[in-house]
Amino acid sequence: MSDFPLMLSVSGMRGLIGRSLTPPVAARYAAAFGSWLRQSTGEAHPHVVIGRDSRPSGLLVQQAAVAGLVAVGCRVTTLGIVTTPSVAIMTEHRHAHGGMVITASHNPIIWNGIKALRADGVAPPPEQAAQIIQRFHDDQVDYVDVTQLQPIDHDDTTTDVHLQRIFDHLDVEAIRKRKIKVVLDSVCGAGGPATAVMMRELGVELVHLYGEPTGIFPHTPEPTAENLTGLAAAVKEHGADIGMAQDPDADRLALVDETGRYIGEEYTLALSALHVMSRTPGPAAANLSTSRMIDDIAERFGGLVHRTPVGEASVAAMMRQHDAVIGGEGNGGIIWPKVICVRDSLAGAALMLELLATTGKSLSQLVADIPAYSIVKQKLPIEPGMADRAIEQVGKLFADDRIDLQDGIRVDLADSWVHVRPSNTEPILRIIAEAPREDDANALIQKVREALNP
């Protein structure tokens, strides 16, 4: 495997700036996407909305991508530094034929990437993503001559449009009346400015950590417990009701309760499901790596959870198929279809505020009302053929248990499960296990690791 990987998957493209991801690479990928849009939509000049997170390399990659899009005849609207869900919303709002986000999500600062979106704001599903990737590999792009080049314009209404969609489905007055105090860690990412506006409009007393979108991450940007010790301490110091953490492109949300205890990302979806289903019972959708908590909550309200491969596009497709009322992924990615069928930390934060306001309970009390599990997530460097070997070896190890092969291999046992799959966004193999006790989850992972390395 190359020391400088270029990841191409259903999640788009990610690479190392100046190494695997250079301006020519970005331009070619964007041109491949634009050419695919022309073919799939029949439009000679598809309209593409493009935004970026706050990484220092963002403008460089965006300008290269815009050049690639324009070169194949696309009309482009730039949005500036905005969240990934905001780009999705603006793609739909502007009736564009596609969208593009310059982001590497939670990856370190040396990475950046390009995420393509369809007209509905959702990433192309696997079969369409494969077509775009093949065009990129084959350099199959349809350049136009100078008479077909289209103008580039800019739209600065993104925050207003995004927040209005949320407020249209939120009990704003109940939240204002509760006067909630929040500590928010935006990790100097794209979500800081818009989320601060939302909090202000909702009457929240906000202590904002790293709210400026400089892209210089003050800590490792993935919103996990070890990276959010500062947030946990700030919640206690300021006597806040809740702590919230976003990732750099603000499509994920992690939580800290009023005692300064890291609740995590899995509870974001579980609590959102609890709130939405209590008002609007119905089905939900979640990926195979997501906690069983959502299944317990759905059962409480007579609903069913439909499982999908990891990836927003897969979850969104399942939600539309079953008219789900809530969905998402256990990484803190909430999909509230009333706003957009895309993971959205702003929508997740709004649901958490409304849940606190309408129940009158603390976050720790709400968490205590949900059956608890321990989920353990590990990762291994991946080698060629390793994913296929993992499926075969884990399948043999658990041959008598319930196996799902939609995405790698997931094994469901009586009171626990384990999921082994290659990452879509990093050159690693993920092993995730959940059980009632942490020791049992760790033992399950160890059993898998021993099978992978006999």
Q: Please indicate, yes or no, if residue 52 is contained in any of the structural domains.
A: yes
Do both 17 and 126 map to the same domain? yes
Q: What is the mean pLDDT of residues 254-267?
A: 96
- Give the model confidence (pLDDT) of 190-232 as tens digits: 999 999 999 999 999 999 999 999 999 999 999 999 999 999 9
C-beta separation of 135 from 116 below 8 A: no
CATH number for position 378: 3.30.310.50
Residue 30 sits in the same domain as residue 148: yes
Instruction: Judge whether 184 lies within some domain.
Output: yes
- Through-space distance between the first and last CA atoms of the chain, rounded to whole angstroms: 22
Contacts of 138 (CB under 8 A, 6+ apart): none
* pLDDT above 60 (res 234): yes
Q: Are residues 357 and 299 in the same domain?
A: yes
Over the range 341-376, which residues count as b (16 or more CB within 10 Å of their CB) and which as e?
A: bbbbbbbbbbbbbbbbbeeeeebeebbeebeebbbb
Q: What's the chain's length in residues? A: 454
C-alpha closest to that of 264 among 333, 198, 208:
333
Residue 288 near residue 308, CB atoms below 8 Å: yes
**56 and 181 both lie in a single domain:** no
Q: Does 13 reside within a domain?
A: yes
Mean pLDDT computed over 394-402:
95
Domain boundary among 311, 333, 368: 368
Last residue of a domain, one of 134, 156, 178: 156
> Catalytic residue numbers?
105
Closest CA to 284 of 310, 302, 311: 302
* Chain mean position to CA 220: 17
For 73-124, how does the pLDDT look when each residue is reduced to its tens digit (9 = 90+)? 999 999 999 999 999 999 999 999 999 999 999 999 999 999 999 999 999 9
According to the model, what pLDDT value does residue 1 have? 38
Q: Would you say residue 263 has pLDDT above 80? A: yes
- What is the phi/psi pair of residue 324, to 5°? -70, 145
Rounded CA-CA distance 162/142 in Å is: 33
Q: Is residue 316 part of a domain?
A: yes
> Mean pLDDT, to the nearest integer, of 9-28?
95
Number of domains in the chain: 3
285 and 180 in a common domain: yes
Average pLDDT in the 66-77 region?
Answer: 98
What is residue 3's predicted lDDT score, i.e. its pLDDT? Answer: 62
The mean pLDDT of 120-134, rounded to a whole number, is 95
- The tokens describing 81, both together, are 């530094």
Residue-by-residue DSSP string for 129-161: HHHHHHHHHHT------GGG---EEE---HHHH
- Asked if the structure places residue 349 within a domain, the reply is yes
> If you search the block for the tokens 């005692």, which residue do you land on?
259
Q: What is the pLDDT of residue 72?
A: 98
CATH number at residue 148: 3.40.120.10
By percentage, how much of the chain surpasses pLDDT 70? Answer: 99
Average pLDDT, the chain: 96
Rounded distance between C-alpha atoms, residue 50 and residue 293, angstroms: 36
Domain containing residue 417: 374-452
Q: Are 357 and 391 within one domain?
A: no
The full 3-state SS of 397-419, as one line of letters, equals: HCCCCEEECCCCEEEECCCCEEE
359 and 401 share one domain:
no
In a domain, 339, yes or no: yes
The β-bridge relationship of strands 205-209 and 242-246 is: unpaired
- The verdict on 344 and 384 lying in the same domain is no
Same domain, 120 and 248: no
As a whole number, mean pLDDT of residues 261-265 equals: 93
Could you report the per-residue pLDDT of 316-361, keeping only the tens digit for each? Answer: 999 999 999 999 999 999 999 999 999 999 999 999 999 999 999 9
More confident residue, 54 or 384: 54
Which pLDDT value is given to residue 427? 82
Q: From 276, 283, 373, select the one nearest 334 (Cα to Cα).
A: 276
Sheet holding 6-9, edge to edge: 6-9, 12-16, 111-118, 98-102, 47-52, 75-81, 152-154
**Same domain (yes/no): 360, 379:** no
Nearest to 65 by CA among 53, 56, 52, 55: 52
Last residue of a domain, one of 368, 385, 400: 368
